[in-house]
């Protein structure tokens, strides 16, 4: 006796099933489809997204969302100021499963939760291997909680990619930019951060990773971290940091740790007899603000001071008063002018 052909199951039908809006025939169709373990895993992933959407305080209005998406599709590109999300490519068959209104709902969910949900496919099969999440920031920082409970503070202009569920043997994320990690301890499942050509491996600790350009810098505040490349490796303990320069293929340990490199996370800045050139560069990185010296000679002025969670204008006010300078605004640029050095 011939087996009755199975009708295709798409995400729209599964969403109706989850929302209890499917017809009795559709319910039976989904239940038969779920007898396959592979299909059950796919359904579990969609169910988690559905549950996450239900936890949002504000309901998702797909009709309004579609109108916003359609407007954006016909609007010229413009700079964005908050966290942005970009889905990675998905096999064509998966794309065809969604209508535009369902895509709009997913986009709204991504914006509200600060992450993108996408599928990574096995080469040559088009079959999903694992669901990945990606969080991207531009002008603001973003806090994340990973599936294992680890906490992350993602700095500006950065991107973190991680699985919706970690593998059985390890916990691996990919970083472009800068982030501070507080890793949940799990001796049986090492935590790894891939950053360019380097990687960081820990069991449970807190540390900072900065991967910009051709350099990767790791700073440790608690626990132990192994920082390695294909040819070199160092073990770092609290108050130590190391830098990898790809163009020179060198990995160098630096002691002690410069606390200003963690200022975006701690809010603390400390300068001891620091040249103004270096101080201004630190402020640029921490605050994401364009600060310039009207006269390069001012860069030789030195200052000893500390700040804790102060806004940039308050910080520059202290600097200018201490060194007899004036802060001039030129659009979004702040310019330090004067004879300087307290004279």
Enumerate residues 6+ apart whose C-beta is below 8 A from 295.
Answer: 337, 340
Question: Which CATH number does the domain housing residue 247 bear?
Answer: 2.60.120.1440
Q: Where are the alpha helices (DSSP H) in 146-296?
A: 263-266, 276-287
Measured CA distances, 253 to 101, 181, 202, 261 (Å): 52, 20, 17, 15
**Integer Cα distance of 150 and 81 in angstroms:** 26
Same domain, 239 and 303: no
pLDDT confidence of 37, banded at 50, 70, 90?
A: confident
Looking at the chain, the whole-number percentage of residues with pLDDT higher than 70 is 69
Same domain, 150 and 241: yes
pLDDT confidence of 43, banded at 50, 70, 90?
A: confident
pLDDT confidence of 61, banded at 50, 70, 90?
A: very low
Question: Which CATH number does the domain housing residue 295 bear?
Answer: 3.55.50.30
Residue 248's CB is within 10 A of a number of other CB atoms, namely: 10
Question: What single-letter DSSP state applies at residue 233?
Answer: E
CB 211 within 8 A of CB 177: yes
Structural domain count, the chain: 2
Average pLDDT over residues 193-201: 91
Same domain, 240 and 287: no
Q: Give residue 280's domain range.
A: 267-337
Q: Round the average pLDDT of the chain to a whole number and report it.
A: 77
Same domain, 251 and 212: yes
Does residue 75 sit within a domain?
Answer: no
Structure tokens at 65: 């969302």
Same domain, 235 and 320: no
Does residue 68 sit within a domain?
Answer: no
pLDDT given for residue 340 in this prediction = 67
Q: Are strands 250-254 and 215-222 parallel, antiparallel or unpaired?
A: unpaired
**Integer Cα distance of 295 and 146 in angstroms:** 46
Does residue 195 sit within a domain?
Answer: yes
Same domain, 210 and 252: yes
Q: Which helix (H) or strand (E) holds 130?
A: strand 128-136
Q: Which of 42-46, 68-72, 224-228, 278-282 has the lowest mean pLDDT?
A: 68-72
Does residue 280 sit within a domain?
Answer: yes
pLDDT confidence of 342, banded at 50, 70, 90?
A: low
CB 184 within 8 A of CB 149: yes
Question: What are the pLDDT digits (tens) for 165-177?
Answer: 887 788 999 999 9
Question: What are the pLDDT digits (tens) for 101-142?
Answer: 444 444 444 444 444 444 444 444 444 455 788 899 998 999
Enumerate residues 6+ apart whose C-beta is below 8 A from 31.
Answer: none
Nearest Cα to Cα of residue 230 among 194, 255, 204: 194
Same domain, 151 and 253: yes
Q: Which of 74-83, 168-177, 274-283 has the lowest mean pLDDT?
A: 74-83
pLDDT given for residue 63 in this prediction = 44
Same domain, 284 and 231: no
CB 293 within 8 A of CB 332: no
Question: What are the pLDDT digits (tens) for 214-262?
Answer: 899 999 999 999 999 988 999 999 999 999 998 898 999 987 888 898 9
pLDDT given for residue 137 in this prediction = 93
Same domain, 246 and 279: no
Q: Is 226 helix (H, G, I), strand (E, B) or coil?
A: strand
CB 210 within 8 A of CB 190: no
Q: Domain boundary residue among 234, 257, 280?
A: 257
Does residue 164 sit within a domain?
Answer: no
Question: What single-letter DSSP state applies at residue 198?
Answer: E
Does residue 289 sit within a domain?
Answer: yes
Structure tokens at 71: 């407007």
pLDDT given for residue 109 in this prediction = 47
Q: Domain boundary residue among 257, 280, 305?
A: 257
Same domain, 277 and 243: no
Stated pTM of the model: 0.61
Structure tokens at 289: 């603000």
pLDDT confidence of 160, banded at 50, 70, 90?
A: very high
Same domain, 150 and 192: yes
Does residue 30 sit within a domain?
Answer: no
CB 69 within 8 A of CB 107: yes
Structure tokens at 324: 């007899």
Length of the chain: 343
Same domain, 251 and 174: yes
Does residue 177 sit within a domain?
Answer: yes
Instruction: At 271, give phi and psi (nearest 5°).
Output: -125, 130
For residues 74 and 226, the model is more confident at: 226
Question: Which range has the top average pLDDT, 33-37, 92-96, 221-225?
Answer: 221-225
pLDDT confidence of 9, banded at 50, 70, 90?
A: low
Q: Which of 55-69, 121-135, 304-318 has the lowest mean pLDDT?
A: 55-69
Q: Domain boundary residue among 230, 257, 284?
A: 257
Question: What single-letter DSSP state applies at residue 65?
Answer: H
pLDDT given for residue 132 in this prediction = 82
């Amino acid at each position: 006796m011939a087996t009755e052909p199975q009708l295709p199951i798409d995400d729209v039908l599964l969403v109706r099933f989850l929302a209890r809006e499917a017809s009795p025939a559709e319910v039976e169709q989904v239940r038969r489809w779920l007898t396959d373990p592979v299909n059950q895993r796919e359904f579990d992933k969609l169910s988690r997204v559905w549950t996450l959407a239900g936890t949002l305080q504000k309901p998702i209005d797909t009709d309004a969302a579609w109108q916003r998406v359609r407007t954006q599709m016909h609007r010229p590109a413009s700079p964005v100021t908050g966290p942005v999300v970009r889905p990675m490519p998905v096999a064509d068959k998966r794309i065809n499963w969604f209508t535009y209104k369902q895509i709009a709902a997913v986009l709204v969910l991504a914006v509200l939760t600060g992450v993108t949900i996408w599928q990574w496919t096995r080469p040559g099969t088009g079959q999903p291997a694992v669901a990945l999440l990606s969080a991207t920031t531009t002008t603001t920082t973003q806090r994340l909680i990973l599936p294992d409970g680890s906490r992350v503070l993602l700095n500006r202009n950065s991107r973190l990619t991680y699985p919706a569920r970690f593998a059985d043997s390890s916990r691996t994320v990919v970083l472009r930019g800068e982030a501070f990690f507080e890793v949940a301890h799990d001796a049986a499942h090492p935590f790894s951060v891939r950053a360019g050509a380097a990687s960081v491996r820990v069991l449970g600790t807190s540390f900072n990773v900065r991967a910009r350009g051709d350099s990767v810098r790791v700073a440790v505040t608690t626990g132990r971290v192994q920082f390695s490349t294909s040819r070199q490796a160092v073990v770092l303990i609290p108050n130590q940091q190391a830098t990898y320069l790809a163009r020179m293929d060198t990995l160098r340990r630096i002691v002690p740790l410069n606390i200003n490199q963690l200022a975006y996370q701690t809010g603390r800045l400390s300068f001891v007899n620091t040249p103004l050139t270096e101080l201004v560069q630190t402020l640029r990185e921490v605050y994401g603000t364009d600060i310039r010296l009207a006269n390069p000679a001012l860069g030789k002025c030195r200052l000893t001071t500390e700040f804790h969670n102060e806004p940039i204008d308050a910080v520059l006010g202290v600097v200018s008063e201490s060194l007899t300078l004036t802060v001039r605004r030129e659009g979004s640029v702040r310019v330090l002018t004067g004879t300087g050095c307290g004279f």
